[in-house]
Amino acid sequence: GPAMAAVRDVEIDPEGTFKYILVRLQRPGGGEQRDIVRGTRAAEFHNHIFEKVNPEMEKLGYECKCLGGGKIDHNSKEKKIRVFGLSTGYGKADHSVTVEILKKVYTDYEITWSDDKK
């Protein structure tokens, strides 16, 4: 639906290293679903990000499920993004999925991922 299209695939800080989560949006009762990436240095813990996203999406009529988390290192000068690490609470997101979503938005970036902790 149009509301789902209005939700941005990616909302991350323009620079730095910070926590991120991969969130699945779904219409109650099934139907359309999609995954979005959210990350910010303002979040001390991964659940802080989810606690902000969840009510926003519920207002739009979506159920949210956190598929895991990790960290993003965003270097806007070199146009590089590195996805790595995990979330203690939510487990490790599938970083390969995260990278595919990031590539939709950061089309001219070099985007890589690994299971490294740092």
User: Going by DSSP bridges, is the β-strand pair 33-40/16-26 parallel, antiparallel, or unpaired?
Assistant: antiparallel
The answer to whether 19 is annotated as binding is yes
Helices (H) and strands (E) in the chain, counts: 3, 6
Catalytic residue among 46, 48, 74, 95: 46
Segment (H or E) for 24? strand 16-26
Handedness of CA 62, 65, 68, 70 (dihedral sign): positive
Residue identified by tokens 């939700």 is 7
74 is annotated as an active-site residue: no
Q: Which residue numbers are catalytic? A: 46
Binding residue numbers: 19
Binding residue numbers for substrate: 19
